[in-house]
Chains A and B, each alone.
Chain A
């Protein structure tokens, strides 16, 4: 098995909630709570979960766009969590992120030429103006745009095209790892398919590795090599994509999969309806965090913390009833 490109170990991120006199810390949001996983070179790890489960925070903490509370992130042989500012900037050449809403992540007052060119300037990747220009055009063509778009501003593009610009910007610095945070959620289905295909082509062409964060299980199934399911700040199941979707072990994964509406009226399935809402990450339930909604819980679930256990090669589950 190939050496991991990215290793995340016991990653934690707690956001303080301040209030009262002197803005004391009165509570903490347990956004990411002891998460560990590996991503191998050339693979796509899908990270799924519902809103507020900590999947985006995980992605951002890995890049140190958000500083972790505890834990380590290793990129190849470098400890990202211990890097100083300068070394961090260096490593960001190799780790990039694309966001859900490309409009919010593109400066509206910059042309496409400067948005993509900026990365080349910062990382000194072009020797002359001409070389930079050529490289930007090349990048635009790679993502299916063209030189005629150079002078345009983000608002002149459709949602799908803006996402292409975001991808071109990530590619400008020859990244190895791209954290894609809900990259197609804001797009219409016909455009969504175009972007998914583009991401797959680029992966083939440049040997990219993706951490693909999304709430849409169908999209994640399609694009991922392996999938990690997250609930209230913790990973509950990690498995190869096909295995996870055909043979889910964790009751939360089961419920999640059964809740996805299938575009085939002839198909009738048994749906597992979960009771209630996701509890607050400020005061997460004790023991297994899913026990308050779990259809197969036993009394001890409220007491014992669950760790990921390997039930089949590469298939990890955090559930004492099932594993």
Chain B
């Protein structure tokens, strides 16, 4: 059995706004094993990013608050760590990369200084050594002319290059877990392919685990070993990648897979895309009972609107939160 690296239990994060409570993450549980890539897939507003930020304890407080749950990392509950201890974890043990690298890089520092900062803080390197390591890291992420690039500012780099710098920063202290939040969404498809390839290469090299958040089923299929599907702040399905794509159980997962145009089926008969009727429910306001997908679900029965389905094992390693199983 694989070794657990991270275990999230019943994580519940709310935002208390003037317009009411937003239940952004509502009782989410999952785990990440050492060295594996866990994909988190779902549409905008389903709570993927807030889950990641909760793990990093980067939820802005107020208005946000983790109201319930625990996040066990190497036997310690991250939610109970004092801020000073958490800082030692963040960037060293667990690091994160974001969708838009430009907003996460500081425009007034060179990329070298920014990579070096983490090394000086966490590894206690001096300025000189840290900058040397920064050059090494840039080489590792295949940035040409690393000696020159290390002295450049973020605006001098292309989008793909910036994402490489972000990755170099995140990996500079050899974390055990990398949280990648839509790392390729802002990039063109040929650059996306380069970055995904790089992530795979580095993951094998460092033996780290990756929590990959994306809305793109294709990216999941090609990079993750296991997947959790989120809908309206909850996990609705969890399975190995092979099983999820071959035999999706939750009607939402099924609908999602059927609604994507498939380039690989270009040679076959053109079909009409299947759609999921309606739109994603709002997470604001009073919690209502019932399966959250029921209003859009073709299999919904009256009882499904009154009770909450629980996420349960239907076969080894395959969990689903649906009354049909």
User: A185-197 CB contact bits vs B (8 Å, 1 = yes)?
Assistant: 0001111111011
Residue A87 is within 8 A (CB to CB) of chain B in the complex: no
* Contact of A259 with B192 at beta-carbon distance under 8 Å, contacts A190-B255, A190-B256 already known: yes
Residue numbers in B under 8 Å from A193 (CB-CB) = 259-261, 273-276
Chain B nearest Cβ from A230, distance in angstroms = 12
Which residues of B from 192 to 221 have beta carbons under 8 Å from A?
Answer: 192-194, 196-197, 215-221
Determine the residue in chain A with the shortest Cβ distance to B144.
Answer: A276
Residue numbers in A under 8 Å from B222 (CB-CB) = 261-262, 265
> Do the beta carbons of A263 and B262 come within 8 Å of each other?
yes
Chain A nearest Cβ from B62, distance in angstroms = 24
> Do the beta carbons of A215 and B242 come within 8 Å of each other?
no
Residue numbers in B under 8 Å from A262 (CB-CB) = 218, 221-222, 262-264
A189 interface neighbour in B144, B161, B194, B215, Cβ under 8 Å = B215
* Contact of A245 with B266 at beta-carbon distance under 8 Å, contacts A262-B222, A263-B257 already known: yes
* Contact of A263 with B273 at beta-carbon distance under 8 Å, contacts A222-B261, A245-B263 already known: no
Residue numbers in B under 8 Å from A276 (CB-CB) = 144
Chain B nearest Cβ from A146, distance in angstroms = 14
* Contact of A277 with B261 at beta-carbon distance under 8 Å, contacts A256-B189, A259-B189 already known: no
Residue B241 is within 8 A (CB to CB) of chain A in the complex: yes
Residue numbers in A under 8 Å from B270 (CB-CB) = 222
Is chain B's interface secondary structure helix, strand, loop, or mixed overall?
A: helix
Which residues of A from 239 to 286 have beta carbons under 8 Å from B?
Answer: 241-242, 245-246, 255-267, 271, 273-274, 276-278
Chain A nearest Cβ from B111, distance in angstroms = 16
> Do the beta carbons of B189 and A260 come within 8 Å of each other?
yes
Residue A221 is within 8 A (CB to CB) of chain B in the complex: yes
Determine the residue in chain A with the shortest Cβ distance to B42.
Answer: A188
Chain A nearest Cβ from B263, distance in angstroms = 4
* Contact of A221 with B263 at beta-carbon distance under 8 Å, contacts A50-B189, A264-B245, A265-B221 already known: yes
Which residues of B approach A to under 8 Å, CB–CB? Answer: 43-44, 144, 158, 160-161, 188-194, 196-197, 215-222, 241-242, 245-246, 255-257, 259-264, 266-267, 270, 272-276, 279-280
The 10 A-B residue pairs whose C-beta atoms are closest, nearest first, are A261-B218, A245-B266, A222-B261, A193-B259, A50-B188, A259-B193, A188-B43, A263-B217, A193-B273, A190-B276
**Would you give 5 A-B contacts (Cβ < 8 Å), ordered by A?**
A51-B188, A188-B44, A189-B259, A257-B263, A264-B221
